[in-house]
Amino acid sequence: MADKEKTADATDKIVAGAAKLQLDEATGEMVSKSELKKRLQKRQKKEAEAKRKAEAAAVPSKPAATSTPKAEEPVNTTPPPTIFEVGFLDDVYKERPMESVVTRFPPEPNGYLHIGHAKAISINFGFAKFHGGKCNLRFDDTNPEAEEEKYFTAIEEMVAWLGFKPDKVTYSSDNFDELYLMAEKLISKGRAYVCYCTDVEINEQRGGKDRGARSQCKHSTQSVEYNLAEFRAMRDGKYKPREACLRMLQDITDGNPQMWDLIAYRILDQAHHRTGDKWKIYPTYDFTHCICDSFEGITHSLCTTEFIQSRVSYEWLNKQLEVYEPMQREYGRLSLTGTMLSKRKIAKLVNEGIVRGWDDPRLYTLIGIKRRGVPPGAILEFVSELGVTTSPSIVQITRFEQTIRRYLERTVPRLMLVLDPVRVVIEDAEELDLDIPFSPKFKTMGNHTVRFTKTVYIERTDFREVDSPDYFRLAPGKSVGLLQVPYPVKAVSFTKDGDKVTEIKAVFDKSGKKPKTYIHWVPEGSRGVEVRLHNPLFKSEKPESAEGGFLNDLSENSEEIYPNAMIESGFEEVKARAPWPEAAGEDGKGKGGLESVRFQAMRVAYMTVDSVDSTDDKIVLNRIVSLKEDEGKSK
């Protein structure tokens, strides 16, 4: 009983906002009474102005003896500048203008990408494309202990889904032989040494946790010959992990921690997915990244501001090795409040069964966002709207959803979906075919046919057993409009099974009186579907700050399931014509998965087909975003 009441309350919340909506006959949209009033007044004003101008044009005007005809001002059709034409990224290019721009997106293949990576992908690929250059996808695969093939595959898929194609797919491990020779070169120049210190000792040399006085490692004065011999011994397996490492001889007195004799090579007792057991030693990010940028001829190495201190060591190492020097510049990273992007914390949610997996639609991994149905074009639009500066973009989820909502409004068709159906038998109805547009605003989406039947199904919360003056939907003796149906219907009786209404008897109301509101419906024989409404996974904007840890901030209502929903027949055509829309990595028929079957369920939400749990016999729908931002949330 409690579950039924909870389900009814949840459904009511979804449709209650639409309960008082009225039909704008000019556009076919359902809008609030106040909005409709504003629209009508605006149209009346336009009509009056047009009439006044027409009357003025009919009266001959006196020629002005000395007046000069005023030239008509041209209409500005120039599109607004992109993020690559103004601001930070424009300044970066002007700092190093190149005929052949080469960038790279260099993820570590040790986890799934998240929304922040979408900004990095958009910037690196977009910057190169805008300047007629090339962008490589380079896997920074220097840590075999954390890398798995599934991450390589998922990263490539996400780059393609966002609409980008790398000029080349490269791997840091492609350069292991050359990187090793570079390490020996650095040793030979007296700028690297083999160190046998423990992690604690290295930390103390760097001033300890209190960042006190720093000291030079005692091994830094070893001869070049000794360091070369010991480095080769590391390579040949003489030492176990953590017994020795190769460190760069930088400047321990420098105020930048990235110059405190960083580790260049460490020993790992782990086979590599591409090079097998060939290597016992592996280069670190600090050693590998700048050299691989140099090897690939990267002109602009664009990364987030967490690497701003690393620019010094990046430039130092390339200068020491006397190789081509790319230019590194840093922009602010993108993160969302109200969620978790940490791989470790998401792994905890997955491992404890709190979410379905790394692709759960409530997560902000890119595979989760994709499964939720967010179009790749909406993500790119979001990045563009935020712009690119050196300041981090810390954005509320609601801001992201606003962009998605605006994008979907103009790109997806509309259908009727009933979450919690109750049967309505219209006793004097006759069956007929209704020609219904997929969008009242965008005629190019076309029309589809829906069979109107004597029995239809409406939302359970669109009917009340007892009427009230402030209620405008169906009740005994009260009429309500059915979307696209010629006449309103009036409830005359209903039957119940226990506390649950099972059937409503109704007749057409042919009095000619306009209904105060319209509700959606589906005909008899409509397809049954399961609907999942995903809400925020966490209760607060900062789950990591919750007392007792982020798991204590989990929402009990992050997912609502309607197992017996029904959808109209137009769904089959929408599914066949997917992707909606054709954009980014889904730029042609059949190029998107099931998650590209997107539509607006009128008065309910924007929906998509779940790409994991849907089958030919059972369709599962996910809510992408609500039709409007929930009341009570900050904007």
Q: Which residue has the tokens 């490492």?
A: 245
Confidence of residue 59 (pLDDT cuts 50, 70, 90): very low
- Is 308 a residue whose pLDDT tops 80? yes
Quick one: which of 332, 451, 468, 436 has its CA closest to 394? 332
Tell me: cis bond preceding 579? Omega within 30 of 0 counts. yes
Per-residue DSSP letter, 583: B
- Is 633 a residue whose pLDDT tops 70? no
Q: Please state, in angstroms and rounded to a whole number, the distance separating the CA atoms of residues 264 and 194.
A: 10
pLDDT, position 25: 56
Question: To the nearest whole percent, how much of the chain has pLDDT over 90?
Answer: 85
Mean of pLDDT values over 493-515? 96
Q: Which residue has the tokens 């016992």?
A: 280
Confidence of residue 289 (pLDDT cuts 50, 70, 90): very high
Confidence of residue 45 (pLDDT cuts 50, 70, 90): confident
Structural contact between residues 608 and 624, judged by C-beta atoms closer than 8 angstroms: yes
Structural contact between residues 28 and 437, judged by C-beta atoms closer than 8 angstroms: yes
Mean of pLDDT values over 426-432? 95
Backbone angles phi, psi at 597, to 5 degrees: -85, 90
Backbone angles phi, psi at 303, to 5 degrees: -145, 175
- Is 78 a residue whose pLDDT tops 90? no
pLDDT, position 46: 72
Q: pLDDT digit string (tens) for 143-188?
A: 999 999 999 999 999 999 999 999 999 999 999 999 999 999 999 9
pLDDT, position 635: 31
Q: Please state, in angstroms and rounded to a whole number, the distance separating the CA atoms of residues 621 and 571.
A: 11
Beta strands in 289-420 (DSSP E): 300-304, 327-331, 334-337, 393-396, 414-415, 417-418
- Answer yes or no: same fold for 96-331 and 337-414+529-626: no
Class of domain 337-414+529-626: mainly beta
Higher model confidence: residue 252 or residue 30?
A: 252
Residue 22, token pair as written in the block: 């009225």
- Is 57 a residue whose pLDDT tops 60? no
Q: pLDDT digit string (tens) for 559-577?
A: 999 999 999 999 999 999 9
Structural contact between residues 499 and 535, judged by C-beta atoms closer than 8 angstroms: no
Q: Which residue has the tokens 């720093």?
A: 214
Beta strands in 467-602 (DSSP E): 479-482, 489-497, 500-508, 518-519, 522-523, 527-534, 559-567, 598-601
b (16+ CB within 10 A) / e for 326-365: bbbbbbbbbbbebbbbeeeebeebbeeeebbbbbbbbbbb
Mean of pLDDT values over 298-327? 98
**DSSP string covering 360-371:** -TTS-BHHHHHH
Question: To the nearest whole percent, how much of the chain has pLDDT over 70?
Answer: 89
List, in order, residues 6 or more apart from 369 with CB less than 8 Å away.
115, 361, 363, 379
pLDDT, position 12: 58
- Is 357 a residue whose pLDDT tops 50? yes
CATH architecture of 420-522: Beta Barrel (2.40)
Confidence of residue 590 (pLDDT cuts 50, 70, 90): confident
Residue 586, token pair as written in the block: 């889904």
Structural contact between residues 138 and 100, judged by C-beta atoms closer than 8 angstroms: no
pLDDT, position 393: 93
Quick one: which of 471, 476, 416 has its CA closest to 621? 416
With helix as H, strand as E and coil as C, how does 118-166 read?
HHHHHHHHHHHHHCCCEEEEEECCCCCCCCCHHHHHHHHHHHHHCCCCC
Active site residues: 108, 333, 343
Structural contact between residues 547 and 350, judged by C-beta atoms closer than 8 angstroms: no
- Bridge partners of 276? 272
- Is 416 a residue whose pLDDT tops 60? yes
Q: pLDDT digit string (tens) for 540-556?
A: 999 999 999 999 999 99
End-to-end CA distance of the chain: 36
Tell me: cis bond preceding 63? Omega within 30 of 0 counts. no
Q: pLDDT digit string (tens) for 393-403?
A: 999 999 999 99
* Domain ranges, ordered by start, for the chain: 96-331, 337-414+529-626, 420-522
CA distances from 329 to 84, 93, 300, 302 (A): 14, 10, 7, 5
Domain 96-331, CATH among 3.40.50.620, 3.30.70.260, 3.40.50.980, 3.40.350.10: 3.40.50.620
- Class of residue 300 by CB neighbours under 10 A (exposed 0-12, middle 13-18, buried 19+): buried
- Bridge partners of 522? 457
> Mean pLDDT, the chain, as a whole number?
91
Q: Please state, in angstroms and rounded to a whole number, the distance separating the CA atoms of residues 212 and 204.
A: 9
Mean of pLDDT values over 333-353? 96
pLDDT, position 141: 97
Per-residue DSSP letter, 171: E
